Amino acid sequence: MEGKYANIIIDISHEKLDRTFQYMVPKELSGRVKPGSLVSVPFGAGNRLRKGYCVGLTDKAEYAAEKLKAIASVEEKGVQAQDRYIRLAAWMKEQYGSTMIMALKTVLPVKRKVKGAEQKSCRLLLSQEEAGRLLEECARKHYKGKARLLQELLQVQELPMALVTGKLHISSQTVKAMEGQGVVEILSKRGYRNPVKITADCGDARMEGYGKKKTLSGEQQGVVDAILEDFDRGERKTCLIHGITGSGKTEVYLALIEGMVKRGKQAIVLIPEIALTYQTLLRFYLRFGERVSVMNSTLSAGEKYDQWERAKKGELDVMIGPRSALFTPFPALGLVIIDEEHENTYKSETMPKYHARETAEEIASMEGGFVALGSATPSLEAYYRVKQGKYKLYELTRRQAGGELPAVYTVDLREELRAGNRSMFSRKLHGLMEGRLRRGEQSILFLNRRGYAGFISCRACGYVMKCPHCDVSLSEHKDGRLVCHYCGYGQPMVKLCPSCGSKYILGFRAGTQQIEEAALKEFPGARVLRMDADTTRSKESYEEILSAFANGEADILVGTQMIVKGHDFPNVTLVGILAADMSLHVGDYRAGERTFQLLTQAAGRAGRSGKAGEVVIQTYDPEHYSIVYAAKQDYKGFYEEEILYREMLAYPPAAHMLAALVLAAEEETGQRLAQEIGALVRAMAEEENVQGRSDETEGAGGKLAADRAILGERLYVIGPAPASVGKINDVYRFMLYIKHKEYGKLVEVKNRVEEFWEGKEERKEIKKESLQFDFDPMRAY
């Protein structure tokens, strides 16, 4: 499509500029400016060049043509936004709240073109007879380099230049001289950087059997057949594969993708975090070879661009990666698989705060494909939609390698203390670990904390060391420094309490590093590996630690959440969960769900190869329903109890919730703006002839009971109030939560609040303020 005028979104992430600006398309750029093109345009009073995306072309000018500025150039090095990505960005902007340019940048994870990796080769131009005569002449004149190259080219007509200048030690000058004489020619073709560093002889114990196509069980085959039959009939309903830990969901994914590839379609496989990439990629690579690739944050700009190009040209069948891999530009996308779909890493923490599940469904709808979710502990959102008939449920109830789920023991740490055991390991766990060491089996110790980090307080007066810029405590690190994990502020450890002068100012330490040291002390001679955020900073560290443990180079693996998600270690027969209830008592309505999921996933690492597995859950709260159901591996029991609480209080998924976060440099300004937004939303409730909830009356018993009866049926406003962390990096934070059963109603609220906010833009103080939206938030603010 060509046009005289282009509608451009300017590359400035600012609410006031979140609209299109019209520019003329000069004759010299006619045909080069297309929807999705990245262009440079003069913008503002000084006509400073800014980048922007063309989102449409037209022959009709919105203003007098002579007043319109002209596009300066088309950015050839920029990645072009295809029409479908412009449509997707517009959908994300509306559904989640952000500027259009921020949404566009999200759906274009590869931002710029990178020079291709050239692959050069040297090809012989002479006939065999001519080359033979020239070889004899070179040997007679002692032209050793030329002779060596001719000798090789007589065997193979074409050689990679890397081999010529490398192993054959022939200088590039020699090759150029022979090229000038018409003996050889240098060929050059575009090569692609391959981020997949897997070979069949990599020596990892996890490789064993992965390359072989496994025969599916009757249960697995039934799931695959049913899903593919639905696809062939034109049914595109999202499906949930609920399989117990070790039930072989990955084999089902492989079979589904194989079926889609046979139908000429491509597939995207999302995994929750980078720690899973290696082992997951291993299985897919050995099944699909060079037709599978990976997209994640550790790749170089060149590697990312090359995978983008390979996918766009149809040279790949499968793309694996975390959330951003969702935007892979496949020409015929048929399937998006979201493994471990319950993980909160599928929710973006930056604007737009999209969820991969709903965004995948929108992409699949645009492409004529479908979405398959998989988990041993599905999110309440997914299972709720199954109950509503929106998703189709498939269940895997048996372990692939045979055997039963592990035996689970719940240990009350209060009883351990009363018995005089002050060790990190309960008597039950200690005894089972000794048994594993004797038998040569492996154990995993899981703790939901990292390093030595812990808050510092005075035992005499209770004073807590806090960050001067953020409303959070400083954490102690092993190097003796106190660090703020929000803004990065640091200072040396204090020896005396700044408040009362006491010397009893100490840290509360409960981290993986301390667990590692305790394990080495309790079990001399045991080989212990630690895997957490501190030990996995380098690009290859995940692979190195997991491979070492898989190859039997350690007896005990200590770690945080990343060690209990999706990994398969055949020799692990014991899992110890330390401080299981640490994640329960936080200000977050999802705390019970997350604790249940985490404990169930951790327990599922034991006994996966047919050997009997055992799990020890150490807790101060053994009666909590999340822990009780996790110990029984009873998802349905947990769901039925948890969903009752969500329905009573109108929390997702029983209702939807919109979090509005006001950020302000001045506390009073932020509080006032948050109050004005709250008043606006309450006025919207009154427009529907429903009285908004009043902070002054909500404590009354009768009013509260009435509110609960209609929670979610109307707009329900909580706040405004300071966020749980009220200040970060000298910026004050105020929260409002708005609930309603209909997601669309909250989108209306978001739109009205955006209009209000844009109207405030004329006030000077607003320039230092900002507003963020989060639909159905995955964490407390």
Residues 239-272 have pLDDT tens digits of 999 998 888 898 999 999 999 999 999 999 998 8
Q: 277: pLDDT confidence band, cut at 50, 70 and 90?
A: low
Q: Which residues pair with 716 in a beta bridge?
A: 739
- DSSP state string for 665-732: SSHHHHHHHHHHHHHHHHHHHHHTT-PPPPTTTTTSHHHHHHHHHHTTTS-EEEEEEEEEEEEETTEE
Q: Provide mean pLDDT across the span 546-561.
A: 87
- The least confident of 88-92, 124-128, 709-713 is 709-713
Return d(Cα 220, Cα 69) in angstroms, integer: 61
Three-state secondary structure readout of 173-234: HHHHHHHHCCCEEEEEEEECCCCCCCCCCCCCHHHCCCCCCCCCCHHHHHHHHHHHHHHHCC
Mean pLDDT of the chain: 84
Looking at residue 327, what DSSP letter applies? Answer: G
Write down the pLDDT at residue 453.
44
Percent of the chain with pLDDT over 70: 85
Q: Is the pLDDT of residue 480 over 60?
A: yes
Query: Average pLDDT in the 138-146 region?
Result: 90
Above 70 in pLDDT, residue 422? yes
Q: Quick check: 485 pLDDT over 50?
A: yes
> Regarding predicted confidence, which is higher, 118 or 330?
330
**Residue 671, CB half-sphere, CA atoms under 13 Å: how many?**
7
pLDDT of 689? 47
| Rounded Cα–Cα distance for residues 779 and 591 (Å) | 9
Q: Per mean pLDDT, which range of 39-43, 227-231, 464-468 is the poorest? A: 464-468
Judged against a pLDDT cut of 80, whether residue 122 lies above it is answered with yes
Q: What is the pLDDT of residue 510?
A: 62
Of 298-307, 410-419, 554-563, least confident by mean pLDDT is 298-307
User: Regarding beta strands 318-321 and 292-294, do their DSSP bridges make them parallel or antiparallel, or are they unpaired?
Assistant: parallel
Rounded CA-CA distance 208/201 in Å is 11
**Lowest mean pLDDT across 161-175, 185-199, 200-214, 650-664:** 200-214
Mind listing the pLDDT tens digit for each residue in 667-699? 999 999 999 999 999 998 887 644 444 444 444
Quick check: 144 pLDDT over 70? yes
Would you say residue 442 has pLDDT above 80?
yes
Most confident of 68-77, 441-450, 735-744: 735-744
**Is the pLDDT score of 590 beyond 60?**
yes
The pLDDT of residue 586 is above 80: no
Task: Give per-residue pLDDT as tens, 328-374.
Answer: 999 999 999 999 999 988 999 988 999 999 999 999 998 999 999 99
CB-based contacts of 756, cutoff 8 Å, min separation 6: 676, 677, 680
Q: What percent of the chain has pLDDT over 90?
A: 41
C-alpha distances (whole Å) from 439 to each of 133, 442, 602 are 70, 9, 22
Contact 95, 354 (CB under 8 A): yes
pLDDT at 739: 92
User: What confidence tier does 460 reach under pLDDT thresholds 50, 70, 90?
Assistant: confident
- The arithmetic mean of pLDDT across residues 595-600, rounded, is 90
Q: What is the pLDDT of residue 333?
A: 95
Tokens for 251?
């084999």
* Residue 761: per-residue pLDDT: 55
